Amino acid sequence: MVSSTSSDYVIYHPEKLRLSDIFTTLVFGTSLVGSELIETSISSNVYGTKVGNVGVNLITVITWILQRIMIWISGPLALFGLLVEFTLNLFSLNGGLLRLLHNLVTGSLVIPKKESADYRSILAHIDERTDLYRTSSVLNHLMKAEPMDNVSERNPLDLCMMAAKIVYENKAYIENVITNHWKMYFVEHYNFWNEYLKSDDTQAFICCDRKENAQLIIVAFRGTEPFSGKDWATDLDLSWMSMGEMGRAHVGFMKALGLQDEKDYQKGWPKNYAGSRKLAYYTIRSTLKTLLQQNRNARIIVTGHSLGGALAILFPSILVLHQEEDIMTSLLGVYTFGQPRVGDKDFGDYMKAKLNVIFKRYYRVVYRYDVVPRVPFDDPISKFVHFGGCVYYRSWYKGEMMKQEPNKNYFNILYIPSKYLNAWLDLFRAVFARIRPGKEFKESWISISFRLIGLLIPGMASHSPRDYVNGARLARVTIKDEEASYTPRDDDYVNGALLAKLTSKDEEVINEEYISVF
């Protein structure tokens, strides 16, 4: 492997892909380095000109084709999404079909308003739950005498996943849930500039367990919107840039976080930003500093689902780069759900060392054959890989702590029968969901209909936040590989995936070493 310098980068432009490019590269092995399709700082004299080097292999071409399709349909897909969500809200706000017809006749029809607190996205229609889950575990006993009474009864993994779920909604909806359902303090909801998409498309919110004397601060990043073709294209992107000793990082995710120069990370990530755009990293960093000054004992949890999970783990990586000790020492944990790959092995090794020494815990949660944790695809050129302990849900009720989820290569044909079988099992369980765990887990016809997608595209339906919420509330987690998690320290457990139901291979382990107060 050729080592990367701080100025190394490979940027792909799938929007410029032509059929002739596919034919000449796959059939004749023609290099596309230097063409409009590939920008790179790396000389072809170093990497050569054949297929399998910088330019192209089969995975690269498949990725380009999928990205090109996503970009091409982005406009119609967004319009379709608006129509679907408006229709769903029209029916739900008017009490169903019969009530809607009555309201129409009587002139009392309720028209959905996209920015209102009762307007829900497709994801909120798939999973309507807003309240946090009260656990009857030993947490309640161990957390006695703590002032955070509104948090101490909660499952922290559920709190993070619910935050990662509601961040898909509009500001009014989010504020209403945090204030009235969670009884917490809403700080702010943001729309940040995304240089990759050239729009204010990176969203996040910050909340605290209380307004004064807060002990917990939550930062939640929004993930891939179901009807955003450009978001899906970002997830698939194989473009990378070198971050010096930190290794390679995903360009699209970095630009969504606030990167300003994709070809030089030192210029792209200045410690102090003087521009006029509102960028996610710098704005959130500033807000956290203010909150920590006002709440000296507060600890921070960063979370996100899908693309939001990628931003959640990249955010502390830039804190490391800028040596933001005040925030880093207050960072209690990073919890991601259905997170795509964000960097190469060097990046993972660097962050594992920093997370183990500076931060308290990083858990990456994966439900079944969710397609997004398998993207960007397992490409031998870009070499994107996951790092950190993986909490893998084999079903709603069984989870394993392991180094790597099964089927890391989405195109592995050996897993095709299992992926389709699991899609059918999920659909079956959805129909009878409330029988075993209770009525709270009953699924609507919208949710069941969404699962049908998994019968066409294995792993797509498994990406739903609903399954991650169910996993946080129902799963029993076993340790399959002890090396999958980091070495524990006295204050190292925020609980998360190890919450009260952590089991070894043969017996249940519930003790104070694995349960700690926020």
pLDDT per residue as tens digits for the range 321-362: 999 999 998 998 899 999 999 999 999 999 888 877 665 578
Residue 142: the pLDDT is 28
The model's confidence at residue 135, banded by pLDDT at 50, 70 and 90, is low
Residue 108: the pLDDT is 92
Give me the residue label for tokens 């990456």: 364
Percent of the chain with pLDDT over 70: 82
Which residue out of 463, 464, 467, 485 is catalytically annotated? 463
- The SS3 assignment for 24 reads helix
- The SS3 assignment for 204 reads strand
Q: Is the pLDDT of residue 282 over 70?
A: yes
The rounded mean pLDDT for the chain is 82
- The SS3 assignment for 134 reads strand
The answer to whether residue 7 is catalytic is no
d(CA 145, CA 152): 10
CA-to-CA dists, residue 206 to 37, 118, 164, 186, 288, angstroms: 38, 20, 11, 7, 9
d(CA 297, CA 358): 17
d(CA 184, CA 151): 9
How are beta strands 185-194 and 199-208 bridged, if at all?
A: antiparallel
The model's confidence at residue 363, banded by pLDDT at 50, 70 and 90, is confident
Answer for the pair 39, 11: CB distance below 8 angstroms, yes or no. yes
> Average pLDDT in the 458-464 region?
89
Q: Which of 25-29, 100-104, 218-222, 503-507 bottoms out in mean pLDDT, i.e. has the lowest? A: 503-507
Asked, as a colleague might, if the bond just before 340 is cis with ω within 30 of 0, I would say: no
CA-to-CA dists, residue 55 to 68, 317, 330, angstroms: 17, 28, 42
d(CA 102, CA 460): 37
Residue 402: the pLDDT is 84
Residue 157: the pLDDT is 85
Q: Is the pLDDT of residue 231 over 60?
A: yes
DSSP letter for each residue of 416-431: HHHHHHHHHHHHHHHH
Answer for the pair 109, 100: CB distance below 8 angstroms, yes or no. yes
Answer for the pair 240, 246: CB distance below 8 angstroms, yes or no. no
Answer for the pair 402, 392: CB distance below 8 angstroms, yes or no. yes
Which residue out of 4, 74, 239, 306 is catalytically annotated? 306
> Average pLDDT in the 394-417 region?
83
d(CA 17, CA 67): 10
Residue 489: the pLDDT is 36
Which among 362, 223, 215 has a CA at the least distance from the CA of 300? 215
292-314 tens-digit pLDDT: 999 989 999 999 999 999 999 99
d(CA 329, CA 313): 16
Q: Which residues pair with 391 in a beta bridge?
A: 365, 401
Q: Is the pLDDT of residue 453 over 60?
A: yes
d(CA 94, CA 439): 23
Angle at 308 between CA 119 and CA 153, to 5 degrees: 75
Q: Is the pLDDT of residue 242 over 80?
A: yes
> Average pLDDT in the 285-289 region?
97
d(CA 442, CA 230): 32
470-507 tens-digit pLDDT: 888 887 776 655 444 433 333 333 333 333 333 333 33
Answer for the pair 370, 461: CB distance below 8 angstroms, yes or no. no
Q: Which of 142-146, 282-286, 380-384, 394-398 bottoms out in mean pLDDT, i.e. has the lowest? A: 142-146
d(CA 338, CA 346): 22
Q: Is the dihedral of CA 378, 311, 132, 142 positive or negative?
A: positive
Give me the residue label for tokens 């858990």: 363
d(CA 425, CA 435): 15
The answer to whether residue 463 is catalytic is yes
Residue 290: the pLDDT is 96
- Using left for φ > 0, alpha for ψ between -120 and 50, and beta otherwise, residue 496 falls in left
> Average pLDDT in the 191-201 region?
89
Q: Sheet harboring 331-337: ordered strands across?
A: 185-194, 199-208, 216-221, 299-305, 331-337, 362-367, 389-393, 398-402, 476-479
How are beta strands 398-402 and 216-221 bridged, if at all?
A: unpaired
Query: In terms of pLDDT, which residue wins out, 184 or 195?
Result: 184
Residue 43: the pLDDT is 56
Q: Is the pLDDT of residue 267 over 70?
A: yes
Say which amino acid occupies 345: K
User: Tokens standing for 155?
Assistant: 């499952």
Percent of the chain with pLDDT over 90: 50
Q: What is the CATH number of domain 57-415+461-514?
A: 3.40.50.1820
- Using left for φ > 0, alpha for ψ between -120 and 50, and beta otherwise, residue 314 falls in alpha
Residue 5: the pLDDT is 55
Say which amino acid occupies 268: G
Gap between the terminal Cα atoms of the chain: 43
Residue 509: the pLDDT is 29
Which residue out of 237, 370, 379, 426 is catalytically annotated? 370
Residue 412: the pLDDT is 84
Answer for the pair 13, 46: CB distance below 8 angstroms, yes or no. no
Which among 203, 133, 194, 192 has a CA at the least distance from the CA of 168? 203
User: Per the confidence metrics, is the pTM higher than 0.85?
Assistant: yes
The answer to whether residue 370 is catalytic is yes
205-208 long-range contacts (CB < 8 A, ≥24 apart) are 205/163, 205/167, 205/171, 205/174, 205/178, 206/284, 206/287, 206/288, 206/291, 207/163, 207/178, 207/182, 208/184, 208/291, 208/295, 208/298
Say which amino acid occupies 492: D
Answer for the pair 486, 334: CB distance below 8 angstroms, yes or no. no
Residue 500: the pLDDT is 31
Q: For the purposes of burial, counting CB atoms within 10 Å of the CB of 436, is it exposed (0-12), middle (13-18) or buried (19 or more)?
A: exposed
The model's confidence at residue 136, banded by pLDDT at 50, 70 and 90, is very low
Q: Is the pLDDT of residue 250 over 90?
A: yes
